[in-house]
Structure 1
Amino acid sequence: MALFLIGLIIFLASHSCRIFAESWRNQMIDRIGEVKWKGLYTIVSLIGFVIMVIGYGQARQSTVVLWQPNIALIYIALVLNLVAFIFLAGSSPSNNAIRLKLKHPMILGVKVWALAHLLSNGTLVNLILFGAFLIWAVLDFRSARKRPVHLPEQAQVSTKATVITIAAGVILWVVFIFGLHQYLIGVSPLAQLS
């Protein structure tokens, strides 16, 4: 569990500079340049992510079961994950209705994803993982709403871009639910339904 917690802290801390240390982040960018900052940020994030994934895999083997989710929560989680994938796809292109209306759909997608996984997973390690991501997403969304949103001037909703965005989210969800989740995580989201 310790390795998992270390990785989780590194990963979320690296993604929290704009929440808790915006002025320090800006000073660092001014001092070392944006390209070097993004490189450093990426390296630290990847290190945290790898440690978190390895630690999660280890912690999952001997975690404490806190509750057993009922079948209704599993179905709700599947639908919420569909919404999360559509929000994720909505972060680009910038002229789709989801991006223009919500401004920060990727962060909202993380919120919905974390909530869905909290509903459908009743173990301590999952409570820590998805609870931490949900708290982070709430704080990041609040912080992001205070910052200017960089969208093209006078951006107008493109119906084509919106349809493509929604279709991409649905396709990603189908691919993930019906195979990629099992391949990457080792657990099928549909296994709890049988």
Structure 2
Amino acid sequence: MALLVLGLAIFIGVHSIRVLAGPWRAAQIERFGIRAWRGVFALLSILGVVLTVAGYGLARRYPVPVWLPPPGMAHLVALLTAIAFVMIVAAYVPNNHIKRVLGQPFVSGVALWAFAHLLANGTLHAIVLFGVFFIWALVEVRAGRRRDREAGVVYPPGSASGDALAVVIGLVAWAVFAFWLHGVLIGVRPLG
């Protein structure tokens, strides 16, 4: 569990600098340049992911049950994660209503993904992993909306084609992950 917590601390810590220490971040970018900042950010992010994945894998060997998810939860989780995938994709598809309404669709999607996984997993290591991501994403959504308000950001109006593109790409990505990659990468086939 310690490796999982260390990985999460590094990954979430690096991804929280803008919220927790914005002026320090700006000073470091000014001092070392944006390329150096992005390089260190990427290396620490990768280290955090590797430690988190390794720590989660080790913790799965000796699970500590906290609660038992009710039967049928997989269907609700599948629906919520499909919506989360669409939200995450909407962050990158131009001119869609999802981005205009949410403002921060990527981290909103991460929050929904984490919440869905909290519903389906009752082990201590799962609660730590998904709980940390859920809380971090909620904080990031709030901070991102505040930054947008302060900067006067106005998202362009959405279009039906932008919405359709976000939904189709999101659902295809979700289907590939839910029916194939989740089993290959995580070792769990959520939909059989």
For 2:28, the equivalent position in structure 1 comes to 28
- How far apart, CA to CA, are the structure 2 residues paired with 1:15 and 1:154? 23
Shifted more, 144-153 versus 182-191: the winner is 144-153
For 2:13, the equivalent position in structure 1 comes to 13
CA RMSD in angstroms, aligned pairs only: 1.8
- How far apart, CA to CA, are the structure 1 residues paired with 2:155 and 2:188? 44
Task: Give the 4+ runs in structure 1 shifted more than 6 A.
Answer: 149-154
Task: Report Cα offsets for 1:108-137 as digits up to 9, x if no partner.
Answer: 001100000000001000000000001101
Residue 19 of structure 1 deviates from its aligned partner by 1.6
Shifted more, 144-153 versus 115-124: the winner is 144-153
Task: Report Cα offsets for 1:30-80 as digits up to 9, x if no partner.
Answer: 111112111111110101110111111011110201122112322211111
| Residue 13 to residue 159, structure 1, CA distance change in 2 (3 Å) | same
Shifted more, 92-101 versus 125-134: the winner is 92-101
For 2:121, the equivalent position in structure 1 comes to 121
* Structure 2 gap ranges (5+): none
- Pair 1:44 & 2:22 matched: no
| Residue 154 to residue 46, structure 1, CA distance change in 2 (3 Å) | closer
For 1:71, the equivalent position in structure 2 comes to 71
| Residue 97 to residue 60, structure 1, CA distance change in 2 (3 Å) | same
Residue 148 of structure 1 deviates from its aligned partner by 2.7
Q: Is the 8 A contact 1:181 1:188 kept in 2?
A: yes
For 1:147, the equivalent position in structure 2 comes to 147
Residue 24 of structure 1 deviates from its aligned partner by 0.7
- How far apart, CA to CA, are the structure 1 residues paired with 2:32 and 2:157? 36
> What's the secondary structure of 1:189's corresponding residue?
coil
Task: Report Cα offsets for 1:163-189 as digits up to 9, x if no partner.
Answer: 011001111111111111001101111
- How far apart, CA to CA, are the structure 1 residues paired with 2:152 and 2:168? 22
- How far apart, CA to CA, are the structure 1 residues paired with 2:153 and 2:115? 31
> What's the secondary structure of 1:7's corresponding residue?
helix
For 2:186, the equivalent position in structure 1 comes to 185
Residue 153 of structure 1 deviates from its aligned partner by 7.3
> What's the secondary structure of 2:65's corresponding residue?
coil
Shifted more, 66-75 versus 119-128: the winner is 66-75
Q: Is the 8 A contact 2:93 2:165 kept in 1?
A: no
Which letter maps to 1:4?
A: L
When normalised by structure 2's length, the TM-score is: 0.94
- How far apart, CA to CA, are the structure 2 residues paired with 1:134 and 1:160? 30
Residue 89 of structure 1 deviates from its aligned partner by 0.7
